[in-house]
Amino acid sequence: MEPLVYRSFSVVKETEADGFIYGDITDHFYFDTEEADGCLSGDGFVQAPDGSRAGIVWELDKEPFVSVILEREEDRWGVYNVGFVKPIKTMDDLIFNFRTVLPLLKEAYHDAQLRK
């Protein structure tokens, strides 16, 4: 059964890696003009291999990072501030960013599982 949190939002199948997959809440391809660098921030979620989900508030940064905004709750394994390393203009940019922070998200997921 699909988790209640983020139910009305879809996952982006192209981002799947090791059973983890990115889902978008805000349009990660929205930017003001053709000359813009791309999308520089947004909201999304990550779905773990077990189907559980966590929120992501992402922004552009020089180095990938993941920090806790909200600890594990009954219906999600947390909400995290995430640093993507490049603006998003294409699906390849989104995939690159998600997979770059994925080791850190896996660690956050593992830590959240320990707090069950």
Compute the mean pLDDT over every residue in the chain, rounded to the nearest whole number. 90
pLDDT of residue 8: 74
Would you say residue 62 lies in a domain?
yes
Query: CB under 8 Å to 85, separation ≥6 — which residues?
Result: 60, 61, 62, 63, 64, 96, 97, 100
Rg, the chain, Cα only: 14
Please give the residue that has the higher pLDDT: either 10 or 68: 68
User: 93 in a domain, yes or no?
Assistant: yes
Is residue 8 in a domain? no
Instruction: Kindly tell me if the per-residue pLDDT of 3 is higher than 60.
Output: no
Query: 44 lies in which domain range?
Result: 13-114
Q: Which uninterrupted H or E stretch holds 41?
A: strand 41-47
Tell me the percentage of the chain whose pLDDT exceeds 90: 73
pLDDT (0 to 100) of residue 1: 46
Whether residue 4 lies inside any domain: the answer is: no
Residue 41 pLDDT class (50, 70, 90 cuts): very high
Burial class, 11, CB count within 10 angstroms (exposed 0-12 / middle 13-18 / buried 19+): middle
Residue 19, in any domain of the structure = yes
**pLDDT given at position 5:** 64
pLDDT at position 63: 97
Q: What is the pLDDT of residue 33?
A: 64
Total structural domains within the chain: 1
Q: Which of 87, 11, 83, 81 is nearest to 48 (CA)?
A: 11
- Give the residue carrying structure tokens 């896996």: 106
Q: State the residue for tokens 């959240």.
A: 112
What one-letter code names the amino acid at 93?
Answer: D
Q: What is the pLDDT of residues 50-95, one digit of tens each?
A: 999 999 999 999 999 999 999 999 889 999 999 999 999 999 999 9
**102 domain residue, yes or no:** yes
- Asked if the model's pLDDT at residue 31 lies above 80, the reply is no
The answer to the question of residue 35 being in a domain is yes
